[in-house]
Structure 1
């Protein structure tokens, strides 16, 4: 089972370009299709790993590995996720000086951008559907994305505003419960 976990995450790490969120649909498909966990369990792990510091894909692979095979499973999944990227970056670094100004490589990376956006959008949409978000609940995330993308607002300001809003809302609810 350890070898299967390792190879599964090596495959995911090797064939995913764009980071952790781009890996999400592949991880979900592999984990849920193998019957290693339910879709609901995967969504719970997805929610928890988003709140942890560090690399999202590594965090989620560690959680999956730990849930299936404890510490050694977590290690196998983490190494499987990290090694392909490490080796690819190492190879790029070794040959970067030879291809630094190659216009074909630059065009290839520009061509990959829409695919990466799609790979990030798909798990967002499937997660929204599976937790049955309404269109009203999507107003804030869409508004925030537009503020960052079109308005040039720093995500740090949005996070600070969300913290303030959460505190105000939480205090309002707490006060309204105390009054009753």
Structure 2
């Protein structure tokens, strides 16, 4: 039963979201929390691990969630569910490429999807960012020093990435080391 739920849930996510993994985040968050599979905090952690791991983001996060819920069989079901719709769509598009390429309707639909994808990514950024940076709201409390430090680190990483010549892997490694050092300095639970 759980394997079918994992497959069908992630099949729906893969079938009804365009624009890649970040555009899938609101639907993933909604579906996973509706099933009460993982907490919001675990989802945020899975997002961080999925982004840091090699491979497509949506495949990584579905695999991690599937493994946590149903072990290796759950990981396989969730992964197949999220990739199968794209695989089938690509097969169909490849078969009818010439007709799709010239169609004004398809070009118009794709042009209409672009703003929707940007909006979904922005919604993900807002939802996850708010939970990560300001879990208690905007009120300044003693525990918010950690969130303020994290926000400043994110801003610094964004500025470093915008500067040409700074490799993203360097930012990831520096962030990991900084997180460990900061965690030990504040004696945060592991």
TM-score (norm 1): 0.79
Aligned residue for 2:102, secondary structure, equals coil
Q: How has the CA–CA distance of structure 1 residues 163 and 15 changed in structure 2, closer, same or farther, with 3 Å as cutoff?
A: closer
- Local SS of the residue matching 1:86: helix
Q: Which residue of 2 aligns with 1:45?
A: 46
Report the number of matched residues.
Answer: 163
Aligned-residue offset at 1:28: 1.1
User: What is the rounded CA distance, in whole Å, between the counterparts of 1:163 and 1:129 in structure 2?
Assistant: 22
- Farther off after superposition, 99-108 or 57-66: 99-108
SS in 2 for 1:100: helix
- CA root-mean-square deviation: 2.8
Distance in 1 separating the partners of 2:169 and 2:7: 40
**Aligned counterparts, 1:26-105, within 5 A:** 26-105=27-106
Task: Return the offset for 1:166.
Answer: 3.6
Contact 2:33/2:39, CA 8 A, preserved across alignment? yes
Residue 167 (structure 2) pairs with residue 159 (structure 1):
yes
How far apart, CA to CA, are the structure 2 residues paired with 1:163 and 1:35?
33
Residues 1:116 and 2:117 aligned together: yes
Alpha carbons of 1:72 and 1:140: their partners in 2 closer, same or farther (altered >3 Å)?
Answer: same
What SS class does the counterpart of residue 36 from structure 1 fall into? coil
- 1:125 maps to 126
Query: How far off is 1:33 after superposition?
Result: 1.6
Structure 1's unaligned 5+ residue stretches are 148-152
Once residues 56 and 164 of structure 1 are traced to their aligned partners in structure 2, the CA distance between those partners, rounded to angstroms, is 15
Q: TM-score, normalised by structure 2?
A: 0.75
The 1-side partners of 2:168 and 2:20 are apart by 25
Q: Distance in 2 between matches of 1:85 and 1:72?
A: 21
- Segments of 5+ residues of structure 2 without an aligned counterpart are 135-146, 186-190
C-alpha deviation, 1:161, in angstroms: 9.4
> Which deviates the most, 132-141 or 70-79?
132-141
Q: How far 1:25 moved relative to its partner?
A: 1.1
Shift of 1:108: 1.5
